[in-house]
Structure 1
C-alpha cells in the first residue's frame, strides 16, 4: 500500500519522501492525503474532524470550514492541502493519526513531516478570511478531546412514550461519543444516590474529562422533577452538585443539562403532558440561572407551562432532537443545534378539538465558549 502513495522517491519502510529538489505540488500533496484518508472508516473520519479542531497548529481549521469543506475524505484532503503549508500539512495529519491510534499510517507521515522540515521554515501564505472564519475565529471552543460522560434518568411509569425517549437519547449520546450511565424509574433516594455516585466518579477518574451531560425525563413542576414515588427533587440542587466547588473535575468544562419535564400547571390540552395535578400551595418558584460558569440548560417549555409528550412517539423535544441530528449531524455548536430543534418544535402543531397547541423551548447558558460534539 505504501508504494501506491505516488509521486516523489519511494523509501520502503521509511514511508513518504518529498522529491529531492522541489516541494510537491498542491495536487500531489492532496492526492497523498486523500489516499491516507480513504483508509479510515466512517467513524474514524468523524473522529478525525473532531480532533482536527483541537490540533495546536496555526492557522487552525474552524468548525464551519470543516462543516462546509470537510464532509468527505476528498474534501478533508483538499482542506488540509489548501489550509496548511508545508511542512505543516504532514505534521497536522501525523498528530491526528496519532490520536486515532493508526500506527499503520502514522510512521509514513511522521517521516514525511521530517523530510519536509529539511526545506527550512516556510512562510504561510495569507489565506483570505471567509465570513464564517471571521465570526467563528473570534469565539474559543471547549476542548472535548477528553472523555465525554453522561447521566440519563427517565421515569417511564405512567408516562406512555417514555421508552421511545430513552431509545432516542441513547442513540444520540452514542453518536456524540458519550459514555452514559442509565437510571430508569428511580425513587428519590435512588436518583440522589446514583447521581452522587456518578458525580464522585467524575472527580475520581484519572483521565481528562471533556464534557458532562445530564438528562432528566419525568413528571415535574417549576424547579422540580418527580420520581416514581412522586417525591420531588430540586433541579437547583442537582445543578449545584456539578459546580466548580463540588465537582472540580468539571472546572472550565461544559456542563449540559437536558430537562424533559413540565414546569408548571399551565397547559394547552391535546397530547399527554409530563404533568400531574397538584395543590396550588405545592408549587415552588425556584427558577434562576445558576451562578456557576460553563452551564447549558435546556427546558422543553416556558416557565409555569406543561411539556408535551405523545403516547406513541414520545416527547416533542426529544423527538425533534433526534430528527435534527439525523438530518444535520453535529455541524452546529450546541446553542445553534437547539435553536434548530426549537424551530422544529415551534412549527409543529398538535390539535385537540381542532384547536392548535404550541410550545417553545427555553435555553439558559453560562457557557464561555462554543460546544461542538
Structure 2
C-alpha cells in the first residue's frame, strides 16, 4: 500500500533530483532597495539548492541576450536540469520591462525563450518566472469587506508523446495588471522579501506557498506619502504537476 502511495506521489510531482538553476536579471541603478532583494534571493537560492547567476543594469536587449545565453548553456549541459527560476526586476509597464538604456523589451518575448519548443533542456520541466516590476500606474486603496452573517518517420513522430508548447510554466507578478509594484528604499520590495521568507521557511508545493505569499501581501497595508495602499501578486500557472522546492 505504501509503495503505491509513493508511486502516485512521484507521478504527481516534478522530479527535482537534478540540477536547479536560477538567473536574476535586474536593474539596480536608480532602484533603491533592489540590492537588498538581490541579496535575499541569493540566500534563498543557496538554501534551496539552486546554482544562481545575477546580471545587473542591462540594456533592454541585454535581457534577451542574457536569457538566450542561459538557455543555450542549459541545452549544452551533459547533466539534466530539474527546474529553473528566472527573476526579472526593473521599472516597467504592462507587458514590458525597461532596460538601463531607457528602451523596453516585451515580457512575452522573454518568456518565449524557455518554452518547450525553444528550450530542449527544460522540455516538460518547471520554469518559474518572477517579475518585480510595475504593470501600470494605478494605485489600490483597498475595499472594505463586510463581515459575513503514413510515412514511417511521420508515423514514428506521431507516436512520440507530445506536450503543448506552453506547459510547465509559472508566471508570478508583483502586482496585478495596470497597477504599481512597491519597493522600500532600504528593505527591498514587499513582493520579493515575502517570497523569500515563505519559500525558505515553509514547506509545501509552490502554488500553496504562493497562496501564502498572496495572503500575507493582501493582509498588509503599505503607506505611500501618508496614504494606505494595498497590493497583491498575480499568479499564472500551466504547471502539470506539483512543484516542491524543499
Deviations 1:277-321 (A, max 9, x none): xxxxxxxxxxxxx96010011001110101011111011111112
Contact 2:44 2:200 in 1 (8 A): no
Shift of residue 267, structure 1, vs aligned partner = 2.5
Shift of residue 60, structure 1, vs aligned partner = 4.9
Q: TM-score, normalised by structure 2?
A: 0.84
Number of matched pairs:
222
Q: TM-score, normalised by structure 1?
A: 0.56
Where in structure 2 are the equivalents of 1:208-227 lying within 5 Å? 208-227=80-99
Distance 1:245 1:138, change over 3 A: closer
Query: SS where residue 263 of structure 1 aligns?
Result: coil
Of 120, 126, 131, 1:259 maps to: 131
- Equivalent residue for 1:185? 57
Contact 2:47 2:200 in 1 (8 A): no
Where in structure 2 are the equivalents of 1:351-362 lying within 5 Å? 351-352=223-224, 354-362=226-234
Structure 2: gaps (5+ residues): 142-163
In 1: Cα distance, 2:116 partner to 2:70 partner: 16
Query: SS where residue 259 of structure 1 aligns?
Result: strand
Contact 1:295 1:366 in 2 (8 A): yes
Distance 1:251 1:325, change over 3 A: closer
Where in structure 2 are the equivalents of 1:1-373 lying within 5 Å? 58-61=3-6, 137=9, 140-268=12-140, 292-328=166-202, 331-352=203-224, 354-373=226-245
In 2: Cα distance, 1:152 partner to 1:323 partner: 17
The structure having more radius of gyration, on CA atoms, is 1
Distance 1:211 1:326, change over 3 A: closer
Distance 1:238 1:155, change over 3 A: same
Distance 1:251 1:138, change over 3 A: closer
Query: SS where residue 364 of structure 1 aligns?
Result: strand
In 1: Cα distance, 2:201 partner to 2:64 partner: 36
- Equivalent residue for 1:75? none
Distance 1:353 1:190, change over 3 A: closer
- Equivalent residue for 2:147? none
Query: SS where residue 58 of structure 1 aligns?
Result: helix
Shift of residue 351, structure 1, vs aligned partner = 2.2
